[in-house]
Amino acid sequence: MRRHLLALTLCLTLMVGAAGPAYAEETEPSVPQIYIDGVLYEHPYTTVVDQVTYVSVHAMSKALLPEASLSWEHGFALVQAEGLELSARPGNIYLCANGRYLYIPDGVRSAFNQEGVLVSALVPVRTLATALSAAVAWEDGAVQISSQGEPLVSGDEFYDPDALFLLSHIIYNESGNQPLKGKIAVGNVLLNRVRHPSFPDTLYDVVYQPGQFYPERTGCMQKTPNSGSIIAAKLCLEGAVVTANSYWFNGVGRSCWASQHKTCLLVIGGHAFYG
């Protein structure tokens, strides 16, 4: 009996030992090598999350723009260089560069040193490269970054003022007190309708379609959108998508035509979205 117990114990030990490395590989994906203009870039806080490579805002910016000034202010990692004003705050779902709002679905991440001090804001390498006018490519399992990418057009040039006005005012009127992703989802509904053959094919006509958003009745175009609604509108115009197939929304638990005839795809804050 004792011999059988020892054999069972040894068997279980070997099984646990065999399973250990496989588990580690699944939970700790390897960080790819990163090259900037052919030179290996190494930084201790580079990481991979859900197959997305995150890099330090400050370290990567300095590697691409040696003359850049780096600082922290009110929780934001700031980068300043000739023709560049960039900021990223851990927890936000975007970074801002020259008035452009670039979407980061899983948010800006934090990196802490062994003393628990925040030392780095981490963002996806492609997003940061776009902000820094760099180009990114994958070659043989490595990330190749070229400093000679497409210049980032400023927000003043990029955002259509009429579209921004319409989106931000409807987002504010419908979801001004909702979380940012909820605001984006409302903007998605508007733009989803523009692309769908069952709705008008311009944003103006979608907003003013009878029986829908009632801008004349609510006076929403005379209101001043809050900053979150403006940011959400800009993120939508950048292509941020929270819900790709929703065409209606309503207060959670409230009965409406969509709640009776369509499928609820997601709930964010106080709104249910249908498609």
Structure pTM? 0.87
Share of residues in the chain with pLDDT > 70 (%): 89
The reported pLDDT for the residue numbered 25 is 35
- pLDDT at 177 > cutoff 70: yes
Q: CA neighbours within 13 Å on the CB side: how many for 210?
A: 0
- pLDDT at 117 > cutoff 60: yes
The residue extents of the domains of the chain are: 34-152, 159-274
Mean pLDDT of the chain: 90
The mean pLDDT value for 13-21 works out to: 35
Reference 88, options 96, 80, 127; nearest CA is 96
At CA 137, angle to CA 136 and CA 139, rounded to 5?
145
Domain 34-152 and domain 159-274 have a common topology? no
Residue 19: which pLDDT band, with cuts at 50, 70 and 90? very low
State the helix-helix crossing angle for 227-237 and 161-175, rounded to 10 degrees.
130
CA 269 to chain centre: 18
| Most confidently predicted of 12-16, 148-152, 168-172, 213-217 | 168-172
| DSSP letter assigned to residue 199 | S
- Tell me how far apart the alpha carbons of residues 240 and 84 are, in angstroms, rounded to a whole number: 22
Instruction: Assign residue 216 a region (left: φ > 0; alpha: ψ between -120 and 50; beta: otherwise).
Output: alpha
Which of these ranges, 17-26, 93-102, 191-200, 202-211, has the smallest mean pLDDT?
A: 17-26
The reported pLDDT for the residue numbered 28 is 52
Share of residues in the chain with pLDDT > 90 (%): 89
The reported pLDDT for the residue numbered 29 is 67
Please name the CATH architecture into which domain 159-274 falls: Orthogonal Bundle (1.10)
Tell me, which fold does domain 34-152 have in CATH? Copper Amine Oxidase; Chain A, domain 1 (3.30.457)
Residue 106: which pLDDT band, with cuts at 50, 70 and 90? very high
Burial letters for 195-226: b for 16+ Cβ neighbours within 10 Å, e otherwise? eeeebeeebeebbbeeeebebeeeebeeeebe
The mean pLDDT value for 230-258 works out to: 97
